[in-house]
């Protein structure tokens, strides 16, 4: 696991040339629980954030400005609770 340190860092980690999704986790309650998210960052598309929330299988397509307004991802990054996982 690697801690995500900023939105720019998240963009680097979530981008795959082929558009594949990447596994991330928000750790909740001091690490007792976690919320899984599959994220794909596609900088050339209008809605450049594609997110699958594993807790309920919901799907979101967002623009950059909406990421912090419609998800807890930015807040989790600021609180040091958002992590990239290279192991599925």
Q: What is the pTM of this model?
A: 0.89
Residue-level pLDDT at 45:
82
The pLDDT assigned to 30 comes to 80
Domains identified in the chain, total number: 1
The dihedral sign for the CA sequence 28, 30, 33, 39: positive
The pLDDT, as a whole number, for residue 83 is 96
Residue 9: which domain range? 2-85
pLDDT at 88: 57
The arithmetic mean of pLDDT across residues 66-84, rounded, is 94
């Amino acid at each position: 696991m690697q801690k995500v340190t900023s939105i720019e860092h998240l963009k680097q980690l979530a981008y795959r040339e082929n558009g594949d999704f990447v596994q991330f986790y928000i750790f909740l309650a001091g690490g007792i629980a976690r919320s899984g998210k599959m994220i794909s960052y596609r900088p050339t598309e209008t809605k450049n954030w594609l997110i699958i929330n594993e807790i309920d299988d919901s799907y979101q397509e967002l623009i950059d400005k909406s990421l912090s307004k419609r998800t807890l991802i930015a807040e989790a990054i600021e609180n040091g609770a958002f992590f990239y996982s290279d192991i599925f």
